[in-house]
Structure 1
């Protein structure tokens, strides 16, 4: 099992990274990870989860349940990973066994330590590499989806400080390597965020001075001195004052060391190092567009591009003027959806690398995805390049192949950087690539240019939350964002982290400096008008998306129209993603034809498919697709598509639940259409887990829809009960059953309403809301009797008896349970009789009638064995064990509990009838202070 906390809390066991379920589970795992490989006492855990004043009376039992749930999530049935440390027979605390390689926080600290050792021994390149690798593990704030606990808050603060120290060390390593220009933008951000960190300000001053910006370096010192004086009443440290004096005196020893002094064994650079020979002055074309002043983040992507170029640059330098021959040109191909910031990234990186290409930088926008413009012809671009390199216009060949050959010849002996922005295809850019070993090319495209030989591919995704907020700060101002932090977070969320959308939102706010951020949040919250709001001046999110969509809408390939239709109809399907079989049902196409359409959308960055199994659409793209669907598809077509998809969900979910629990009586419905084939219970559980968020979204979506979608959603809720209830998904159960009840009443479906009430009672049971449970069941019973539905009446009577027992109304429970048993025997329902006998035993035990209780439990156990009901065999053994112990017959109690453990395991679930796992039974047994006797 692997864990990562440098962002959201996630775990992985060979497959995808997944998040943990309820908040309390995440809190428990987070606290254990904060103390990895150390025992955390149970008292400390309860304080962490509830606080001293908010701890419920059942905190001990709840903690055992959470531990058991966590073990199940970790696949730790034997308790070898989440270890129970005991004092005597009772659990004293829990310890999570974690290897350093399994935990991103531990791996981060290992890499930082290796980086620091590299700096200490004078190996800055190795140090920078280790530190970049460490910082690349960060995905956001530590534990960002975990509710705060004392341990989590303390560990978060510690890790944030470690991250800042690692950033500082990596900047120091880059400075020692002579990469002063490449760290300036990052230092500007860091010093703005941490204005009183003098080490960072010193590195900024040094980088500015080495970049020929002595005045800016001195101004940076003055700004810090003024801030320290105004805010803290102190002066800068003596070390920083000395650096200021050396910059003031234009001390040449502050310049970077020569390349041959930065290898292992070279002296440490610090804020002063031997001078180096300056790079040759640029003598070629300088075509780079201005870098965006608002460019934010993308540190790992910039580092990859920079490393590719710098490593090749070093090889060329080592090999001499014409060295490194035969090595391919460095090509970095950056792909991503429209508006994700590809152009800003390569222009930013190119400016950082410009001094490595003294023969010039060539730039062209190829208009591969520009609204209203046709993609540039390679021959036209070659003409521009050749003229920029000094070729007379009359000497530029008209033949593209000849022009490409001439361009390669001119570039062969030079050090050129070529930026091919907004490419349409590999065919468009192939003639434009230089061939000289000292040349590099940066290419951007909406499509992944997989057939581009020798390229390093970078996929650009939306900005993570912290970088998105930082981008908004750059445009709007840190003071405004700091005054409304929640609204700033909401804007970044509603923009989906898409840089283009954030730039537009920021521009709208910047144009109205007195308008609060919440005013824009209100407008963006309206999904139907969001794309209208994300338009300002010559920028528009909708226009950016339209170009990619029109390529399919107007395309001539056989699958173009399928792709355009798929793009539109996917917006009608609720849920965060879609699997291929469900998409096939939605579109009414064969799986092969549906897959072809979906993969075309993936290639065009209109869909995402990280694992080639499931497909996801960015929120803003979903809004655009919905607009196109409303314009181009009839309401009937959209409704039919959703009906086909929901029918597939219902049919497959019914099949899955039947495989997991074939003996359980529950309503099954005949549904026409596609079904995902499942062979056994393992495949069924895997499918349900993978689709759960989509299934829940489908229930929510369908609640307000007309027939047949509404009825399908209600049936889906009925089916999901049998998957969610044993796993204690309490909130989901309450939500879907309340929706199902509302839908049933709207459709006039009494049976559907009764099932929803009965299932809602199950959610109340898990919440310990027994009065609400009783009310739901009494309402359900009225409907069952009106309908003459014996099976439903049996079920609700049995559950009502449970509720009455929990309310300690044991006499009433016995009366209800006897009515249930009479009806079960009248209808010949042996399974219901088995359950009823067990519940009757519970009621007798509640009144202190242990012998009557044991008689009921024994009859229930015998009946469960005859009918093959594994679950209720475990229930009866558990109840008999507890009853014997209450009588003081500890050896017999232990025997029955020991017998019950393997029964629960054989049943394929580790949940007891009260929601406990089998690993929770043993601590419960020990709380009775049992002295073990002979086995």
Structure 2
């Protein structure tokens, strides 16, 4: 058994390894991880696979602590290295600093009535003395009963209690056919509200939960988790931070969550009339007095149904009662008053649960002009058949309440028929194929992986690469839904084209949790319809990339190998080389340096065999230079620093000669790291300075911060050598 000093050493090493491992969302974090792997190999005297579980992390830490106990010089070397890694990760964003903005809730409903007991229950739980358990309330009630409105109203009223902000995320966002948001995606949404950039967030789901808890540990926050489906969905988002209060909003009081239950039922007739009195003026309410009993019966105490009914209170009410679904009843009453064009848009946009759509989408589906579609959408929002949100790109976007969409879909089947609904869905799919291929091609024009824009409809144009990428980001949820839609509609070609167009999102913007279900569908459909083809190889490669970034390395290996098999079988040499390179990059992440080097050599052999007529031939010189850089990284990990330096210098010459500033800076950084491994600070410093200058004006803050950390290490080592 280790003595207390050894236990302390193990804990310290574990902390460093864990911190470096959680920082791999940006390229600086990946450098830190590779450098750490090389240092671990030098300490162990042999290759040590990268730890992927807490137990494996502890095993590596114990091995290192044992070495340090017997070799004080080695311990001192590790301390200096750990300080550099911690400084580099923090400087590159690992400190999880909050932005200057104070997150706030959605705009609350103006007219709010009753719910005094529910508000008191929330008051009590929020002010409960901290005892190490989460301050947590589960607000539950049928759709349209105002559960979300209650949570937002309470939070707005209690804003002073939470000076660090109030967060809100929707756990029911329709990114898949089941309409359930993954916890990882929700955690990233909450962290963005806190001002944490994506590049600072850990990649694995387990690390992301822990990172979120650290971020909020000392904050006074309200967090509302809206439209929750289960305790399993909520549990990764919970925190026991003493000054954080969480409100979970759900349809039903699901089991498995240790929370105070806050039921929200129908309003009494007295409170329903009071709500109508707030919305209407007294003369209008008096005029409608005779109709009130039937209106109240049809609305069933639902605040949503009452607000929807208020503008038409003096109009004849449809026959029938609210039954079990007053929201549907209110939607039907409102629908009957719509003009034909607005009613058609209302029906056809509901054929699929799009997370958020705009006027351009509605125009494509209905055939209206964008201006007319915008007017119809505004009208539907005014009568509460749609809800409007402002998106990051400044466009108004709309979505349905779940019960309202079910009503609209049923009416579409009734009035437009299956053929009309299928045609509307096909038009939306065509839109997203056109949009995704055009935006992807313009966001990453040099990539052979991105499919060509659709020739039949003409490419959409964007002002810059950045605008094209922003368009993909804004539509990411809809694109994922479109892939599900294409699969269900029996249109594998559209599903695969959209999936291949996700490559710039994967490469430049992450969003891996959100994209993963769509990529799985794409790979499955490609295997089913185009087995052993370049199409299947491309989808497996994209899936391997996302799984690697999510640190699901065993699955990533399976997909990379599947990609290589498909590409080789199809004779697509460029894709075969790329898939083999992907496997090598995965091996670098796993600290399996020899296997990584073998993969890069194998990829180079495939590139050497390419013919002038092969797809991607023009890209071969750059691809070979990248492989040289990767070989240099693998050799550095193996401790073969002199050979590493030679490979990296070969790659650097190519990138410099061809004006590739991005890869020039990356290779300069690799070279500087290699010289630092050899304690050659004099040779490393000018490379670091050149890399910093190369990155000037390229929005590479994380990379530059990492380079500055390397420069500080040079200074520290030079001072130590002179004393």
Larger Rg belongs to: 1
Question: Is 2:497 aligned against 1:715?
Answer: yes
Counterpart of 2:213? 149
Query: Structure 1, residues 268-296: CA drift from partner, whole Å, max 9, x if none?
Result: xxxxxxxxxxxxxxxxxxxxxx983795x
1:349-369 deviations in Å (ceiling 9; x for gaps): 99xx9xxx9x99946358699
SS at match of 1:536: coil
Indicate whether 1:549 and 2:335 are aligned. yes
Q: Distance in 2 between matches of 1:867 and 1:830?
A: 10
SS at structure 2 position matched to 1:663? coil
Question: Partners in 2 of 1:346 and 1:65 — Cα distance?
Answer: 54
- Quick one: distance in 2 between partners of 1:663 and 1:580? 31
User: How much does 1:875 deviate?
Assistant: 2.4
The alignment status of 1:886 with 2:677, answered yes or no, reads yes
Match of 1:61 among 17, 20, 33: 20
Q: Distance in 2 between matches of 1:64 and 1:569?
A: 44
Matched, 1:846 2:628: no
Question: Within 5 Å, which residues of 2 pair with 1:411-430?
Answer: 422-424=310-312
Q: Which among 351, 355, 366 is matched to residue 576 of structure 1?
A: 355
Instruction: Tell me, yes or no, if the aligned pair for 1:721 and 1:759 is still in contact at 8 Å.
Output: yes
Query: What do the CA deviations read for 1:530-575 (whole angstroms, capped 9, x no partner)?
Result: xx9x9537x63322211111122xxxxxxx2221111111112342
Structural RMSD (CA): 5.0
For 1:547 and 1:675, how far apart are their aligned partners in 2?
A: 42
Question: Are the equivalent residues in 1 in contact too, given 2:84–2:713 (CA < 8 A)?
Answer: no
Instruction: State whether residues 363 and 421 of structure 1, in contact with CA within 8 Å, keep that contact through their aligned partners in structure 2.
Output: no
8 Å CA contact 2:387–2:399 kept in 1: the answer is yes
Question: Are the counterparts in 2 of residues 90 and 927 from structure 1 also a CA contact under 8 Å?
Answer: no
Structure 2 partner of 1:464: none
User: How far is the alpha carbon of 1:89 from its aligned partner?
Assistant: 10
Runs of at least 5 residues in structure 1 that lack an aligned partner in the other structure: 1-51, 71-85, 106-130, 165-191, 195-289, 296-340, 374-418, 430-444, 447-531, 553-559, 911-915
Q: Structure 1, residues 315-353: CA drift from partner, whole Å, max 9, x if none?
A: xxxxxxxxxxxxxxxxxxxxxxxxxx7x55244799xx9
Q: Give, in angstroms, the shift of residue 855 of structure 1.
A: 1.9
Q: Deviations over 1:142-163 (max 9, x none)?
A: 5576667378467559999999
Counterpart in the other structure of 1:738: 520
Task: Kindly state the Cα deviation for residue 793 of structure 1 after the two structures are TM-superposed.
Answer: 1.0
Q: 2:480 touches 2:515 (CA, 8 Å); kept in 1?
A: no
1:706 CA displacement: 0.5
Taking a change above 3 Å as real, the CA distance of residues 97 and 691 of structure 1, as seen in their structure-2 partners, is closer
Alpha-carbon deviations, 1:87-130, whole Å to 9, x = none? Answer: 9996489595777x85669xxxxxxxxxxxxxxxxxxxxxxxxx
CA distance, structure 2, for counterparts of residue 784 and residue 67 of structure 1: 29
Match status 1:862 vs 2:640: no
Indicate how the Cα distance of structure 1 residues 897 and 63 shifts in structure 2: closer, same or farther if over 3 A, else same: farther
Matched, 1:617 2:505: no
2:288 matched residue in structure 1: 364
Mapped partners of 2:13, 2:484: distance in 1: 33
Matches within 5 A, 1:351-500: 362=286, 364-365=288-289, 422-424=310-312
Q: What is the deviation of 1:133?
A: 8.1
More off after superposition, 53-62 vs 620-629 = 53-62
Closer, same or farther in 2 for the Cα pair 1:702/1:929, shift >3 Å?
farther
1:536 and 2:323 are equivalent in the alignment: yes
Aligned residues: 505
Q: Quickly say closer, same or farther: Cα 1:64–1:755, change in 2 above 3 A.
A: closer
Q: Give the C-alpha shift of residue 904 in structure 1.
A: 4.8
The verdict on how the C-alpha distance between 1:758 and 1:98 changes in structure 2, with shifts beyond 3 A counting, is closer
Q: Secondary structure at the match of 2:288?
A: strand
- Whole-Å separation in 1 of the counterparts to 2:501 and 2:292: 48
Deviation at 1:862, TM superposition (A): 2.1
2:542 aligned partner: 759
Cα offset, 1:637, TM superposition: 2.9
Query: 1:677: which partner in 2?
Result: 461
Pairwise CA distance, 1:649: 2.3
Q: What secondary structure does 2:343 align onto?
A: helix
Structure-2-length-normalised TM-score: 0.59
In structure 2, runs of 5+ residues without a counterpart are 1-10, 30-81, 106-153, 170-186, 188-208, 224-240, 246-259, 298-306, 611-616
Instruction: Tell me the CA shift for residue 799 of structure 1.
Output: 1.6
CA contact (8 A) 2:356 2:397 kept: yes
Give 1:725's aligned residue.
507
Aligned partners of 1:420 and 1:778: how far apart in 2?
Answer: 56
Mapped contact 2:308–2:383 kept (Cα < 8 A): no
1:602 Cα deviation from its structure 2 partner = 2.6
Q: 1:143 to 1:776 in 2, by over 3 A?
A: same
What is the DSSP-based 3-state SS (H/G/I as helix, E as strand, rest coil) of the residue aligned with 1:662?
coil
SS of the residue aligned with 2:354? coil
The residue correspondences of 1:577-592 to structure 2 (distance < 5 A) are 577-592=356-371
